[in-house]
């Protein structure tokens, strides 16, 4: 076993931080799966490496949190595009071929503050985007004026709330907003909260059972909720030991105005890719599955 893998996977956390500070950077990358989805609970969460198309960002950046959407019959993917130089991210996007190849990457949304987890969706013929703006202590809704790179902030859904990875779901005539909520500068991986509303415009109110999950192994959202064999599934991050360790697939057993319950039944750990240290997003659209992965890039090579 090489020293890099030992220090990043098995050594105490302070040693890993020292190594990353002086020798390497964690760089996230995008993965497109044109075969059977890894999120299929009948699978073990692994696929042959040849089935996966890996896309790395240019030097000095990383790409993560892929969210696909089909527009005019074509698949596009929106993702976090982080710059080590500016120490913040913009939301970028690119068209995707049926084989999983990315087209030209362009900036879709840029703000003076950090943006990530671009939850893009269609509602009543319009395209919307809810990015993670945890540092701003609010959750904003953006509306598309011209696809894919002209967006305007429509309204603030939650103000004074530090929510990570806000994930919208519609069911039983109501809207449900999932995300991990924390105090300022506190861990954002441990407690899943749900807010609910009758319309996108609000008013949004907290679920009476909040926090509905208190477990860093499966609290933080990792992509859209989806139906599988008639069962509602919620992908979540396993952040035990390290951030973004794996995606856990949770079967939602109850979701109503009084209760929430789920059961973990599957897992995607990204181990099908050599050198991959984790994954924390899983989404599907247009016959393609989108995930991310993480490697350690030597500092010298990054520079």
pLDDT digits (tens, 9 = 90+) for 168-212: 999 999 999 999 998 755 567 899 999 999 999 989 999 999 999
What's the pLDDT band for 26 if we cut at 50, 70, 90?
A: confident
Looking at every residue in the chain, the average pLDDT score rounds to 89
Question: Which pLDDT band holds residue 37 (cuts at 50, 70, 90)?
Answer: confident
* Percent share of the chain, pLDDT over 90: 74
Say if residue 47's pLDDT is above 80.
no
Query: For residue 8, what are its two tokens?
Result: 């990043």
Least confident of 21-30, 123-132, 135-144: 21-30
pLDDT attached to residue 10:
38
Token couple for 3 = 């020293």
Instruction: Tell which wins on pLDDT, 1 or 157.
Output: 157
CATH topology of domain 24-302: Tachylectin-2; Chain A (2.115.10)
Sheet with strand 88-96: strands edge to edge: 61-71, 74-83, 88-96, 106-109
pLDDT at 103 over 60: yes
Under the banding of pLDDT at 50, 70 and 90, the label for residue 234 is very high
């Amino acid at each position: 076993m090489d020293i890099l893998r030992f220090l990043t996977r098995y050594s105490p956390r302070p040693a890993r931080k020292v190594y990353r500070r002086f020798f390497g950077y964690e760089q996230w990358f995008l993965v497109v799966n044109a075969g059977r989805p890894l999120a299929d609970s009948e699978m073990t969460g692994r696929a042959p490496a040849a089935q996966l198309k890996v896309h790395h960002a240019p030097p000095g950046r990383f790409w993560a949190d892929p969210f696909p959407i089909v527009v005019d019959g074509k698949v596009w993917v929106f993702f976090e595009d982080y710059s080590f130089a500016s120490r913040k991210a913009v939301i970028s996007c690119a068209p995707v071929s049926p084989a999983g190849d990315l087209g030209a990457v362009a900036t879709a949304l840029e703000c003076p503050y950090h943006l990530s987890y671009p939850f893009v969706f269609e509602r009543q013929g319009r395209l919307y985007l809810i990015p993670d703006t945890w540092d701003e202590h609010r959750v904003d809704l953006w509306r598309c004026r011209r696809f894919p790179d002209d967006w305007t902030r429509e309204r603030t859904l939650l103000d004074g709330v530090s929510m990570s990875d806000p994930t919208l779901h519609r069911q039983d005539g109501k809207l449900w907003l999932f995300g991990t909520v924390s105090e300022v500068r506190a861990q954002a991986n441990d407690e899943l909260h749900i807010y609910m509303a009758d319309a996108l415009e609000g008013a949004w109110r907290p679920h009476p059972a909040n926090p509905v999950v208190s477990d860093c192994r499966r609290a933080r959202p990792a992509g859209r909720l989806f139906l599988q064999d008639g069962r509602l599934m919620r992908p979540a991050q396993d952040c035990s030991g390290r951030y973004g360790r794996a995606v856990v697939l949770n079967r939602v057993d109850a979701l109503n105005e009084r209760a929430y319950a789920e059961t973990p039944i599957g897992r995607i750990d990204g181990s099908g890719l050599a050198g991959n240290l984790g994954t924390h997003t899983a989404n599907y659209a247009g016959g393609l599955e989108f995930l991310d992965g993480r490697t350690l890039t030597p500092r010298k090579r990054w520079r």
